[in-house]
Every structure is written in structure tokens, then in C-alpha cells.
Structure 1
């Protein structure tokens, strides 16, 4: 019996062999390469369109931390040191629709200093319904100067702002620590605002008593914003847990890319394992004091591409429970940022001015 030589797929002659009896006709090498190229194009188009979250979204779900950077020339940046690329409100509105989120909290970026023109414009765009009226779905976090007037505070309340932001990280800091005590009391007494704080969480223990002395609630950015690796017994993390237990601090599960730790990769998406460990600790410790935010458009991510649908799915991985996910995305955000009740609840949504 004559021995038939073995022909491997790497040999061009392999594609000239007749197909086995009963099999489908074999595609040519050219057709397979063409299909592979088409599949790559389709996958690239899906990536460009953005990921839709795997888990169904919930009515009233809130993105509690985004920034808006208007089109060039509309609003001037504070200086030339920090000039993020444009990320206008209309662009975020498309992201919000894709993710299925109802509500949003726009946070004043230090790029604009104490000028709130871009913030107010973004709130107006994101809070306008199809009929042109306010629908009560957007809130703002301002960044007011120690010399802010009562009139400016009232204007910001009318625009939908419910808190002021203390950005205490260099080089973006706008005020000094010595000014925070009086300003926290001022905005609380004048317009019943809370304080949103961003600082290196490793040193929260050093300002713990100061934060406890402020009259309102303190909203901590970015899962504590620990700019370095921390263990479970680190003083900053233990201080954060104590502040939560004292009913003083809330935490945003946002911006893991703000951490100084290097991300790992999960397919095409980054994973921030150390930060995610802290998120899980906080969820086990006090889920009633947490909200979720995308940190869109991720101004500190550098060249790392971050998909907000993927980040929203991470919340589902951390919680592993639909009730916890609802609490963080809907209930906690509604309480903290004073959103009106959903239409099917006791008090229907009325929109307009942020409640005091």
C-alpha cells in the first residue's frame, strides 16, 4: 500500500486537497483571511462604540463623578499648566445613554479654578428633557473660593449644586488646609452643602479630627484615593473606616486609575487589584455609605484606555449582590445628592432646583 505523504495546513498544497466526503466545501485561504479581517473590523467597531454593561441597569441609577471640559474657546482654563482635552457635555450624554444611567453628578475640575461657567452650562445640558424643561437628573459639586459671596452660592444652588469640593492634591490644589474649616462651616450654614474631599488617603488619619469637626458630611473621592499600596491595618485606611462609622464620611467608588499603582490587564481592559481590594473592604464594611462614579473622561489615565461600561461591570463583580448594587447606584446616590424621588415612589420627580 502506497504511503500518502502528510500535508500540513502550513503547506499551500493543503488547500488544494479535496474535502472529505460529506463535509462542507473548504474555504480558500484567501476567504479565511478576508473573514478574519472582517471580524477584526467588527470587533474594532464594537470597541469604538463602547461596551454596554453586562448587567441590566436600574431606574434611577447614578454616575456620581464625572468632569466636563467644554469645546475649546467656550470657557477659559485657569492657566496653561493643566489643559485637558475637550470632553463636552454632549459627549458624556451619549455615554450615559449607552450605559443606561439616569442621573449624573458633575464635579468642578480644578482646570477651571473657581470659575463655574462650564459646570453650570454642563448641568443645564445634562438636566434638560426632550421638551426643553428641567428633569432633575443632574447635580453639581462646585469648588468655591474662601471669599465666595452669598449670591454666588445661591446661584450655584439654583443651578443644581449640592456640595463644594476641596481638591487637596498638588499641583491641583486651589485652597489651603487652614481655609477649609471656615469654608466648610460657611457653605453648610449658608446653603446646607456637604464637602467633597480629594487627598492622598494614606494620610487621612492626620486630618481625621479636622474632618470630624466640619458640620456636614464629607464625601471622599476615588475609593479613598490611596496614592500607594496600603495594607488592611494602614492608619489612613483605618481612619477612613472610623470616619464612616462616625456617620461623617461617604466614599465614591470611582477612579481606580487615580491610584499610583500600576494596573494589570484583563483582556483589553485595565484592572487595579489593590484599589479593588479596598473597594471590596468598603462594600463589606458599610455599603450604605457608598456611591459609584465613572470618573469620565478619566483625565488622569494617560494613555490607558478605560471603557466606562467595563468599569460599571466591575461594580457588579465587587458587590455580587443585586440588592447592594441597587443601594450603591440608586438609593445612596439619591440620598447623598438630593435627587427627587422616582416617579413610582411616594413623591414624584419635580426637577429644577436642588433641594435644600
Structure 2
């Protein structure tokens, strides 16, 4: 075998050689995320997906569209990468879900333009919204949000920098209920629910807790926060989203800490539960690792395992969501002739 002649950097032909393997510049973060998104979509072409199950609902979705049109808050410039509505539409098709509830993202603060755009694109007959409401909101904005399909005010009380005062939550909960008949969507560390149990009971309307109660640490069925959750459910005050297990449990893909709580809630009050994908599920500081978490289809499989019964699963995905988010009763699937 003849050995190729050595070409030194001093020879002009050296710069005509192809680059050695591994010397190519590393792709940018956005390029890597785009490649992952293309890979995800290629796994299930849209044309091969059966039609959605009538009435099935994803109760927790956030969107992150083009920042030039929908800028994030000043302190969120390093926020999550692009996750536009059309990407979620493709995911919803693969999951065979018909309806969705879009929750105002934290990086957008009280600016609801991205939320309103998502509601318009997804369609008012199949979509509801949860708006982040601050003390300075006007009656006109509340009515506009209500007309666009919003049905609840979101209180983010989990992170200090995003909170409004608890006294303000009392006023806002009463105001949105009286003006537009909204409920409240609350995210907080469930370990401290007992400290605000009486306050939550005092709010008019229903209260929906995110992410299986969002217990940011292991708890037992005798933990004061979990016992407060059970009392609030028993009082017909609180509903719970079976969503975002990755928010409080790093042990994917089974999320044993969340699984134990979810199974207890399903046995205790299945009629007060809904399911949400928490798409795009960006909870860490590394977007690549976030994208490598179990996908939303696996989360639906977990719901199957937690319920242990198909009728319970359908109740959570369809019947409960229809009642909570004020959708019309779904059309029954046409029977297939034998």
C-alpha cells in the first residue's frame, strides 16, 4: 500500500485538504436544539398519527415564540429557547390530544401577547388560557383576556422573584371571580400548603394546583402539607394537575416520589384531577439536558400506570378537564362498522 505524501502547512496544497475529523466547529446551542426537535418530529410523521381522542386535554402548556415579536421580561434575556405554537401543534397531534390549556409563561411576566397569540392559533373551541394577573390589571384587560378564552388567574408563588404579595392574591382572586367568573391556578411549594390553607379556602371559586401539588422535597401521607392538600380536595375547593413530575423529582423516567403522591391522589379523589404535559418542560439550567428527559408520550404512559384503569385515565384526560376548563361536552367517537 502506497503511503500518501506528507503535505506541510508551508505548501499551498495543504489548505485545499478537507478538514480532519473532529475539527469542525461545534454547532451552536440553537442548532443543537433544532436538530433534536427535527429528530423528535421524524419519529412520528403527522400523516401516520390517528385522529385525536375527542375531548382529551393537555391541561398545562407554555409557549415561547419569536422574541422579536413577543419579548420576554428584561431579567429573562437568558430565558428558554424558541418553542413556538406550531411545534406544540405537532406534539399535540402525536399525543392524539384534542384540547389544550395554555398557561402564561413566567418569562413573559404580565405581558399576555404571546398567550393571546397562542390562543388564537390553537383555536378558541379547543383551547383555554390561564393568565398571570398582577395588582395593576385593568377591568378592560381582564374582559379582553376572558373574551380570548382565559378562565383562570395564575399565581406563581414558588419563586421569590416572581411572587406577588399574599394579600394581593386575596384581592385578585375575589376580583377576577366577581368580574369574569375565573378560578385560580396556583403554583407553590406544597410542603407549606398548611400555612395558607385558610387563605385558599377563603378564595371564591375553584383553585387548581400545578404539578401534583409541587412538593419540592419528599413527603409522606402524614406530612402536614400533603394532609392540607387532602383536606382542600375533600372540601371541594382544590383540583390538582398531574403534570410536571420533573419539577420536583429528578429520578426520571419513573419519578417514584411523584408517582407515590399521584397514586394516592387518584385513589382519594380521581374526580378532582387533570393531566398536563408541562410542555416544553424546561426546568433546569441546561436546555440540552431538559430536552433529553422522557418525552411527553412516556408521561402519558406513566398516567396509564398510575391509574391502573382505562376508565380512570379517560376521566382525568377528558371528563374532568371538560368540567374544570369549561369546554363543551366532547362529541362521541363514531363506532366503526364491523
TM-score under structure 1 length normalisation? 0.77
Residue 114 (structure 2) pairs with residue 118 (structure 1): yes
Residue aligned with 1:61, SS: strand
Q: Which residue is 2:265 aligned to?
A: 282
| Aligned counterpart for 1:317 among listed residues 302, 305, 320 | 305
Alpha-carbon deviation of 1:50? Answer: 4.8
Aligned to 2:191: 202
Segment drifting more, 213-222 vs 174-183? 174-183
Spell out the pairing of 1:149-168 with structure 2 (5 A cutoff). 149-168=138-157
Matched, 1:329 2:317: yes
User: 1: distance between equivalents of 2:40 and 2:136?
Assistant: 46
Instruction: State the alpha-carbon separation in 2 of the partners of residues 174 and 159 from structure 1.
Output: 25
In the alignment, the residues of structure 2 paired with residue 83 and residue 47 of structure 1 have an alpha-carbon distance, to the nearest angstrom, of: 22
Residues 239-318 of structure 1: pairs in structure 2 closer than 5 A: 239-259=228-248, 261-264=249-252, 270-301=253-284, 302=286, 303-304=289-290, 305=292, 306-318=294-306
- DSSP-derived class of the 2:154 partner: strand
Q: Does 1:91 align with 2:84?
A: no
Determine the C-alpha separation between the residues in 1 that align with 2:51 and 2:219.
33
Question: Per-residue deviation at 1:169?
Answer: 1.4
Identify unmatched segments of 5+ residues in structure 1. Answer: 1-44, 128-133, 265-269, 346-356
Partner deviation per Cα, 1:167-207 (whole Å, 9 max, x = no partner)? 00114524111211011000000000000000000000000
What corresponds to 2:131 in structure 1?
Answer: 142
Structure 2 residue corresponding to 1:59, chosen from 34, 37, 54: 54
Per-residue deviation, residues 236-278 of structure 1 (Å, max 9, x unmatched): 000000000000000000000000x4314xxxxx221001110
Structure 2 segments unaligned to the other structure (5+ residues): 1-37, 334-338
Tell me how far 1:117 sits from its aligned partner: 0.1
Q: CA deviation at 1:343?
A: 3.3
Relative to structure 1, the CA distance from residue 61 to residue 246 in structure 2 (aligned partners, 3 Å threshold; closer, same or farther) is same
- Give the deviation of 1:340 after TM superposition: 1.3
CA distance in 2, matches of 1:175, 1:101: 34
- Which entry has the higher C-alpha Rg, 1 or 2? 1
Moved more, 69-78 or 187-196: 69-78
CA RMSD of aligned residues (A): 2.2
Deviation at 1:160, TM superposition (A): 0.5
SS in 1 for 2:321: helix
SS at match of 1:63: strand
Indicate if the aligned counterparts of 2:156 and 2:188 stay in contact, CA closer than 8 A. yes
* Contact kept? 2:52, 2:93, Cα under 8 Å: no
Distance in 1 between residues matched to 2:256 and 2:51, nearest whole Å: 25
1:78: which partner in 2? Answer: 73
CA distance in structure 2 between the aligned counterparts of 1:51 and 1:315, rounded to whole angstroms: 21
User: Is 1:110–1:172's contact at 8 Å kept on the other side of the alignment?
Assistant: no
Distance 1:312 1:74, change over 3 A: same
Give the structure-2-normalised TM-score.
Answer: 0.81
Q: Which of 219, 237, 244 pairs up with 2:226?
A: 237
Residue 80 of structure 1 aligns to a residue in which SS?
Answer: helix
Selected match of 1:180 from 140, 161, 169: 169
Which of 77, 98, 108 is the matching residue for 1:102?
Answer: 98
